[in-house]
Structure 1
Amino acid sequence: MREWRVKRRERTRQLIELGGLIAKAELIELTDDDRAVILGLLIEAAAKLKSENRDQQLLLWRRRGARAFAQNQLAEPS
């Protein structure tokens, strides 16, 4: 397979996974699928990552995300 196809598939997979995270965080339902609101939330998060408290914010979000993943795995039937 050509290299550009492999890169395109990798990029497509990444975008699908990121969209899944938006859904997992319930942002679609909580915003009534308002794309402008979702983009605004993401821009706000990016602004926080540009601040002096970047490392502290990343740690907080990483912990919350890890807990959410762990809780979701426990809730799924095996």
Structure 2
Amino acid sequence: MLRRLIATRTALRRSWAARNRHLAARARHDMRTWQVERRQRTQHLIELGGLVVKAGIVDLTGDDRAMIYGAALWMADKLRSDQGEQARALWAAKGRQAFGNE
């Protein structure tokens, strides 16, 4: 009786594991519009975060998120100002140069 119970429990665990693998695989390949958009947004945010790390901002600020957010707000204010076009051109050129050096 104990062996049957253990065998049943083991089979149940395998069944649950197989079910979980199936659900995970199905979720990875789900093509509903909202999920595709969510994946694209997530990928976009990951890439933007990568730029913050790549620029060395995380190390320079000691991962102080308030400081990083403040700097981003300052950039946005600068781009909205009358000097926005000048800042945009300067920063774009600097970024293209840095990408070219890699």
Supply the RMSD in Å over aligned alpha carbons: 0.5
Is 2:91 the counterpart of 1:61? yes
**Larger Rg computed on CA atoms:** 2
Runs of 4+ in 1 over 2 A off after TM superposition: none
> What is the DSSP-based 3-state SS (H/G/I as helix, E as strand, rest coil) of the residue aligned with 2:62?
coil
Q: TM-score if structure 1 supplies the norm length?
A: 0.90
**Matched-pair identity in %:** 49
Q: Which residue is 1:76 aligned to?
A: none
Q: Residue type matched to 1:10 in 2?
A: Q
> What is the DSSP-based 3-state SS (H/G/I as helix, E as strand, rest coil) of the residue aligned with 1:28?
helix
Q: Which has the higher contact order (CA 8 A, sep 6+)?
A: 1
Q: TM-score if structure 2 supplies the norm length?
A: 0.69
Aligned residues between the structures: 72
Is 2:76 the counterpart of 1:46? yes
Q: Which residue is 2:53 aligned to?
A: 23
Unaligned runs of 5+ in 1: 73-78
